[in-house]
Amino acid sequence: MSAPPRNPFNPRLAEGVRRYGFRKWYERELLSSHAHLLLTLLSSVALIGLLEAFQDASLADKLLNVLLFIASGAIGLWSLRRYLYLLTHAEEVANQANCPACGTYARFEVMGEDQRSGQSAVRCRACRQEWTIEA
């Protein structure tokens, strides 16, 4: 059985660095995380609006408002969780992007990837030093 397709906006580190370069991959991760933060904000506004609409509603409208409140709350929690994951993941990888030999930041090429452990073997473009980044 093959793995499910990945989100094209958030490729794995090795695939993203090969396709876009590290800086663009990192930028895409941050933009995606902040889009989820915006969705969290919009869900919060929807929750406040539903609370306001609940006051003067009929019984049928109140039941609908409760269902929409639950849906908005679930979407808000999911998007907040996704925001925190993407932001933390991008920062963890960025903290490992310095070459241990020469200190050059974000100038590496991916040599290989172990998908089970989430590690990528990389090599510095400046001094050819190899190290492992845990993604």
∠ CA 28-29-33, nearest 5°, is 115
- pLDDT exceeds 80 at position 108: yes
User: How much of the chain exceeds pLDDT 90, in percent?
Assistant: 80
Question: How far from the centroid of its chain's Cα atoms is residue 107's Cα?
Answer: 22
CA atoms within 13 Å, Cβ hemisphere of 62: 6
pLDDT at 47: 97
pLDDT band at 57 (very low <50, low <70, confident <90, very high): confident
Spatial CB neighbours of 32, under 8 Å, sequence gap ≥ 6? 9, 10, 86
- Mean pLDDT across the stretch 67-90? 97
CA angle 122–102–19, rounded 5-degree value: 30
What pLDDT sits at residue 115? 84
Place 56 in a pLDDT band, splitting at 50, 70 and 90: confident
pLDDT at 4: 45
- Token pair in block for residue 66: 């409760």
Q: Is 55's pLDDT higher than 50?
A: yes
